[in-house]
Amino acid sequence: MKIIFASAHDTDSEPWIKPLQALVPTAEFQNWDEHGPTIGAQLAVVWNPPADIFLRESKLEAIFNLGAGVDALFRLPGLKDDTPIVRLEDAGMAVQMAEYAAYALLRASRQFDAYEALQNTQFWTPQPDIDRRKWPVGVMGMGVMGARVAQTLASFNYPVAGWSRSGNDLPGIAQFVGRHQLSAFLGRTRVLINTLPLTDETRGILSRQNLLELQPHAHIVNVGRGEHLIEEDLLALLDSGHIQGATLDVFRQEPLPQDHPFWRHPRITLTPHVAAASLREESIEQVAEKINRYLRGEPLTGVVARSKGY
Ligand code: NDP
Ligand code: OXD
């Protein structure tokens, strides 16, 4: 059993392949070599792999993705409709996502941004006390990431709602389901946190039309994918004041181009796609476990539903 490894996580593949090889001794891992021959791999372990991987390694029986989002794989030529794709589930990412969302929410609602500015002017100026009812949080996507985010923020006593395709019954989190409840969800939300996967249905969902439905002085946190957000719409709504601020981790083009207006916008805080990193040890452990189960013919979790795209 040959396994091709092609990951953009690190320039050095050794710290990934060595432990994977030790945990899956019955297979032979080989690092992707853009100049090398096709190895006839049966399995692939990938993260943002080279564009020609599925054309060159055309005998793949299954693909193991070293991340939660699989949207990048669907853009690559040669990906067969019936090749199972298995993604990471949590693997240490959900807690990071919750930290990130908590930071963004608290910075806005506890006015830490205002205090940063005040410190620069050496003014001792307490801001009005927090009223959590004025900061209703809405989490788009209630999967592995969204559920952890929602539960964490609810534990700080913010009113939290979740929006998803099929809903779930997390205690203390108001549930909104499907397109027909999107408007009601947005209308009760001031801090919108997007943890959706990128699919044909969710691309562009953070549009002017939808963002206008949010409560005034809204704050947007985008940790899903850059293509969820219509960037020009966000800029216009920041200018109009309907949106008070945005915390963005993902962008249409990554790295964000030097001349992009987001870099210098006073009400945008941005980070370079680090909201929830794939931690090496956790990722290796989970992927090795999934491969071993696959090799033993046991059922797997985290298999992408190709009809839904996530
Ligand atoms: P999951 O598959 O566990 O959860 C996806 C959630 O989105 C589910 O609740 C699903 O609904 C919901 N959803 C999907 N499509 C729709 C739709 N059309 N309408 C309403 N709800 C929808 O994924 P994860 O939580 O593990 O990851 C989510 C995304 O987070 C990833 O795809 C990736 O893009 C992003 N991510 C970003 C990272 C970063 O560092 N910035 C790190 C990790 C992930 P249902 O429950 O009904 O299926
Ligand atoms: C992921 C990511 O999807 O890091 O795992 O964005």
Instruction: Identify the domain containing residue 55 by its residue range.
Output: 2-91+278-295
Same domain, 68 and 168: no
Same domain, 122 and 213: yes
Q: Is residue 170 part of a domain?
A: yes
Quote the pLDDT of residue 304: 98
CA of 83 to the centre of ligand 1 (A): 21
Last residue in a domain, options 253, 270, 287: 270
Q: Is residue 166 part of a domain?
A: yes
Q: Is residue 125 part of a domain?
A: yes
Same domain, 62 and 107: no
Measured from the Cα of 88, ligand 2's closest atom is 5
Residue closest by Cα to atom 3 of ligand 2: 69
Quote the pLDDT of residue 10: 87
- CATH code of residue 252: 3.40.50.720
Residue 191 forms beta bridges with which residues?
Answer: 137, 219
Residue with tokens 């704050």: 219
Residue with tokens 């050496």: 122
Same domain, 17 and 102: no
Give the closest ligand to the alpha carbon of residue 304: 1
What residues are in contact with ligand 1 under a 6 Å CB criterion? Answer: 68-69, 93, 141-146, 164-166, 195-199, 201-202, 223-225, 249-250, 273, 275-276, 310
Query: How far apart, in whole angstroms, are the C-alpha atoms of residue 274 and residue 100?
Result: 9
Same domain, 144 and 286: no
Paired tokens of 74: 């669907």
CB neighbourhood size of 177 (10 A): 16
CB neighbourhood size of 79 (10 A): 16
**pTM, full prediction:** 0.97
Same domain, 74 and 213: no
- Catalytic residue at 225? yes
- Catalytic residue at 180? no
Same domain, 195 and 154: yes
Active site residue: 273, 280, 293, 306, which one? Answer: 273
Same domain, 291 and 163: no
Which secondary structure element, helix H or strand E, spans residue 209, and what is its range? helix 208-211
Same domain, 102 and 182: yes
Same domain, 84 and 122: no
Same domain, 125 and 67: no
CB neighbourhood size of 57 (10 A): 23
Choose one of 47, 70, 95, 164 to mutate for the ligand 1 pocket test, by most ligand atoms within 8 angstroms of C-beta. Answer: 164
Q: Is 283 in the pocket of ligand 2 (CB under 6 A)?
A: no
Q: Is residue 304 part of a domain?
A: no
Residue closest by Cα to atom 19 of ligand 1: 165
Q: Is residue 301 part of a domain?
A: no
Measured from the Cα of 87, ligand 1's closest atom is 26
CA of 220 to the centre of ligand 1 (A): 17
Quote the pLDDT of residue 86: 98
Domains contained in the chain, number = 2
Q: Is residue 307 part of a domain?
A: no
Q: Is residue 256 part of a domain?
A: yes
Same domain, 117 and 61: no
Q: Is 69 in the pocket of ligand 2 (CB under 6 A)?
A: yes
Q: What amino acid is encoded at 136 in this protein? A: P
Q: Is residue 308 part of a domain?
A: no
Phi, psi of 279 (to 5 degrees): -75, 135
Paired tokens of 163: 């929006």
Quote the pLDDT of residue 288: 98
Nearest CA among 249, 195, 176, 186 for reference residue 216:
186
CA of 35 to the centre of ligand 1 (A): 35
Can you tell me whether residue 44 is helix, strand or coil? strand
Measured from the Cα of 65, ligand 2's closest atom is 5
Query: How far apart, in whole angstroms, are the C-alpha atoms of residue 17 and residue 51?
Result: 21
Choose one of 71, 88, 278, 282 to mutate for the ligand 2 pocket test, by most ligand atoms within 8 angstroms of C-beta. Answer: 278
Under a CB-based contact definition with an 8 Å cutoff, are residues 88 and 68 in contact?
Answer: yes
Can you tell me whether residue 303 is helix, strand or coil? strand
pLDDT tens, N- to C-terminus, the chain (310 residues) = 999 999 998 889 999 999 999 999 999 999 999 999 999 999 999 999 999 999 999 999 999 999 999 999 999 999 999 999 999 999 999 999 999 999 999 999 999 999 999 999 999 999 999 999 999 999 999 999 999 999 999 999 999 999 999 998 999 999 999 999 999 999 999 999 999 999 999 999 999 999 999 999 999 999 999 999 999 999 999 999 999 999 999 999 999 999 999 999 999 999 999 999 999 999 999 999 999 999 999 999 999 999 999 9
